[in-house]
Structure 1
Amino acid sequence: MTKVKICGIRREEEAEWAVEAGADAVGFVFADSKRRIDVETAAKISALLPAHVLKIGVFVNESKENLTEIYKTVNLDYVQLHGDESVTFCQGLDLPFIKAISIKEKEDINGSLHYPGEMILLDSGKGPHRGGNGTTFNWDYAEALTHPHHLILAGGLNPENVREAIKKVRPYMVDVSSGVEIAGKKDRLKIESFISEVKSV
């Protein structure tokens, strides 16, 4: 069964909604974003989460020192790297990580194959930010992909399209942020609807 990550969590009640609805992971954004959370607040929310829910921090071009410090302070399970981090940088990181790859063209998929790590995240390359733009990429690019990693699919997913996305890409996990929001804030019913759709595929 496909796993679900609810990303861009900023408040305790949002984390509670995600957990109660059956989320497998939550994401805290520490990069420049309208969903950015401070380390202290993230640590408080993290401490409330059950052990089986993965805690993933989202970063863009962060130093190894800061990654390590925030990883420990918030008690993260993974750091998600959304910037220009090289294969060499990732190889030298003593932390569990997920490399995010922006997909604009089909060839962009090939770049994801070279990264080490257990999981890779495919996100849309369209929009002003490194992620969380609410735009999809062409899922056909990933449909025939034979990948050595667990694949996380992100980019423009919502309760209406996630079923089709899963059937095409067959990812290990789907990652949603703006697709479960109303007016820029997480919505409980949308979170429940999204997770229900995923778990029923």
Structure 2
Amino acid sequence: MTQFERFFDPSTVSLKICGVTRLADAEQLVALGVDALGVNFWPKSKRYLAPEKAAWLGFLRGKILRVGVFVNENSDTALRLVQDGLLDVVQLHGDESPADAKPFRDAGVPFIKAIGIKTRDDLALATDYGAAGLLLDAHAPGVYGGTGETFDWDVARSFREQNPGLPVLLAGGIVPENAALAAQSVSPAALDIASGAEISPGIKDFQKVTALLTAIRF
């Protein structure tokens, strides 16, 4: 099984640490056995990394799944970073429509679509994207992730049960203290955590990361 397949395999819960901004932190995630990291290329993010400063991602190729997070952006930058060997997966974390995802489908580039959940109706178009996986997060208009807020996990569990062939990633307010409950309640393919694994925005707390890994390996 490839790194990509393991991450999206619903039979186990993987861990993605998002908002990584430094190579040293990324290398520590690799050493701990974290499955994936996310790098935020949205300029308004507290964890923003400019694409021209992302060359260090190349050193991690084959060591950890590298996910680039983009918000309502033209597909050209994301596709270029994949073609340059800096990213393995693209994450569309804005208000993108299924039509906006077409360039990635056409290029054969795997992508995750993030959807902010307020009610079950927010999932109406979820299966239309052709995504490798869906990231279900707390509904936070204009914030686009990293809020530290949870949502009703029953919605995520119900959607996963109704769509067993579509990997579900769970985000929003997950910390070491509730990670095991999140994993057991929803049985997602992965937990996606930013603020719950930090000292400050973009700077990772490896005691928390270790605790998260322990929590999901039940």
TM-score by length of 2: 0.85
Q: Give the deviation of 1:52 after TM superposition.
A: 4.3
Matched, 1:197 2:218: no
| 8 Å CA contact 2:30, 2:63 repeated in 1 | no
TM-score by length of 1: 0.92
Q: Tell me the residue number matched to 1:175.
A: 192
Matched, 1:137 2:151: yes
Q: Give the deviation of 1:196 after TM superposition.
A: 1.8
Structure 1 CA distance for aligned equivalents of residues 114 and 189 of structure 2? 14
Q: CA RMSD in A?
A: 1.7
Structure 2 CA distance for aligned equivalents of residues 92 and 183 of structure 1? 35
Structure 2 CA distance for aligned equivalents of residues 36 and 81 of structure 1? 15
- SS at 2:168's partner residue? strand
Q: Tell me the residue number matched to 2:178.
A: 161
Q: Which runs of 5+ in 1 are unaligned?
A: none
Deviation string, structure 1 residues 12-33 (Cα, Å, up to 9, x no partner): 2211221122111111000020
Change (3 A) 1:89 1:138: same
Amino acid at match of 1:118: A
Structure 2 CA distance for aligned equivalents of residues 110 and 166 of structure 1? 24
Structure 2 CA distance for aligned equivalents of residues 198 and 19 of structure 1? 17
| 8 Å CA contact 2:61, 2:85 repeated in 1 | no
| 8 Å CA contact 1:127, 1:135 repeated in 2 | no
Q: Tell me the residue number matched to 1:33.
A: 45
How many residues are matched?
Answer: 199
Structure 1 CA distance for aligned equivalents of residues 85 and 63 of structure 2? 16
Q: How does 1:88-127 map to 2 (within 5 A)?
A: 88-93=99-104, 94=107, 95-126=109-140
Q: Which runs of 5+ in 2 are unaligned?
A: 1-11
Amino acid at match of 1:111: L
Structure 1 CA distance for aligned equivalents of residues 80 and 61 of structure 2? 22
Q: Tell me the residue number matched to 1:149.
A: 166
- SS at 2:144's partner residue? coil
Q: Where has structure 1 moved over 6 Å in runs of 4 or more? A: none
Q: Tell me the residue number matched to 2:79.
A: 68
Percent of pairs with identical residues: 38
